[in-house]
Amino acid sequence: MKLWVYISVIILVMVGVSVGLYEYMVYTNSPSKSVPIVKEGDKISVRYYGYIYYGGERRVFDTNIEEVAKDNTTYPKTITYKWPSRFEPLTFTVGDGSMIKGFDEGVRGMKLNETKTIIVPPEKGYKFYWDKVKNESYNQKVPVIENMTLNQFYSRFTHANPVINGVYRDKMYGWNAIVLYVDPQENVVTIQNNPDENRDYYPIGDQSLVVHVDSVNGDVIRIHYIIKSTPILLPSGGIIDATYPDHFRINFNQEVAGKTLYFVVTVVKIES
């Protein structure tokens, strides 16, 4: 074989290898081929933690990351935070309406294994209902003798069935009360509140909320509230989240309702 034939073969081989290498690099670096991107209709799995701000402090309200759940120093929690039953990726289909709008929109365009902070404005998060907000005076009257349902008793005292002459601590006011009468069939429990005058009580166990008994006269107990910090979770499920000169606010919305939400999200799986 002549020399020019050898040279031609070598050139053809080199060209073929170069073209093949170029096509391989284009294929592997193409976003549609090498790095999946989240789009509507995709079924995705994510790791995340969500937080809100209270007076400039970040508080985590939800997470499926065990390290975040365990670390209360780096990731302080909201007062309604609940420990997850298990730590597994959150899986959902983008655009199916199962997630709040801001979260659903925020994951779109994310790449596999990408981590991103999604900011959800209140109008795209959890709705706030003004009819779930109550204003309460600091100065109040409490009857010495009260009639209530069993569910009301469970909420204020204990989930155990009340016993006549039993003494129970009132989680709403912090003092003890004695059960005078119980009729399960009529769904009625009668209690007698027994606070001491001029004494402070601590319903939630610390000094952020103080109930001071001003007087006990006849059938009426006069009290006033002292609120030293917020938010405060009450046994009723309401949250004292704002104080004013002549009253305070109890909010029965979700703690995250009406707030700007922040989610740190990592996409761990995409199924187109």
The CATH number covering residue 54 comes to 3.10.50.40
At 54 the pLDDT is 86
Confidence band (pLDDT; 50, 70, 90) for 21? very low
Count of other CB atoms within 10 angstroms of residue 167: 12
Round to whole Å and give the CA distance between 40 and 96. Answer: 9
Length, in residues, of the chain: 272
Round to whole Å and give the CA distance between 88 and 116. Answer: 19
Does residue 73 have a pLDDT over 60? yes
Q: Examine the domain organization and report whether 119 and 152 are in the same domain.
A: no
pLDDT, averaged across the chain: 90
At 28 the pLDDT is 43
Q: In angstroms, what is the C-alpha Rg of the chain?
A: 31
Round to whole Å and give the CA distance between 58 and 74. Answer: 9
% of the chain at pLDDT higher than 90 = 82
Q: Look at 205 and 65; give whichever has higher pLDDT.
A: 65
Domain around 155: 141-225
Q: Which residues contact 105 (CB under 8 A, 6 or more apart)?
A: 124
The mean pLDDT value for 142-160 works out to 94
At 33 the pLDDT is 59
At 25 the pLDDT is 45
Confidence band (pLDDT; 50, 70, 90) for 236? confident
Residue 188: inside a domain, yes or no? yes
Confidence band (pLDDT; 50, 70, 90) for 5? very low
Residue 123: inside a domain, yes or no? yes
Q: Look at 50 and 56; give whichever has higher pLDDT.
A: 50
Does residue 13 have a pLDDT over 50? no
Q: Examine the domain organization and report whether 151 and 91 are in the same domain.
A: no
Does residue 100 have a pLDDT over 80? yes
Round to whole Å and give the CA distance between 30 and 216. Answer: 78
Does residue 95 have a pLDDT over 70? yes
Q: Please give the angle made by the CA atoms of 105, 111 and 115, to the nearest 5 degrees.
A: 80
Give the H or E element holding residue 105.
helix 101-107
Residue 181: inside a domain, yes or no? yes
Confidence band (pLDDT; 50, 70, 90) for 35? confident
At 268 the pLDDT is 98
At 238 the pLDDT is 95
Q: Look at 159 and 266; give whichever has higher pLDDT.
A: 266
Does residue 163 have a pLDDT over 70? yes
Does residue 9 have a pLDDT over 60? no
Tally the domains of the chain: 2
The mean pLDDT value for 126-134 works out to 97
Which strand ranges, in their side-by-side order, compose the sheet holding 176-183?
145-148, 188-193, 176-183, 167-169
Q: Examine the domain organization and report whether 57 and 120 are in the same domain.
A: yes
Round to whole Å and give the CA distance between 190 and 149. Answer: 9
Query: CB-based burial of residue 46 (10 Å sphere; 0-12 exposed, 13-18 middle, 19+ buried)?
Result: buried
Does residue 146 have a pLDDT over 80? yes
Q: Examine the domain organization and report whether 122 and 177 are in the same domain.
A: no
Burial code of 183-192, b = ≥16 C-beta within 10 A, e = fewer?
A: eeeeeebbbe
Q: Give residue-wise pLDDT tens across range 171-220.
A: 999 999 999 999 999 999 999 999 999 999 999 989 999 999 999 999 99
Does residue 27 have a pLDDT over 60? no
Judged by phi (left if over 0) then psi (alpha if -120 to 50, else beta), residue 109 lies in left
Q: Examine the domain organization and report whether 220 and 148 are in the same domain.
A: yes
The closest of 189, 195, 204 to 236, measured between CA atoms, is 204
Residue 216: inside a domain, yes or no? yes
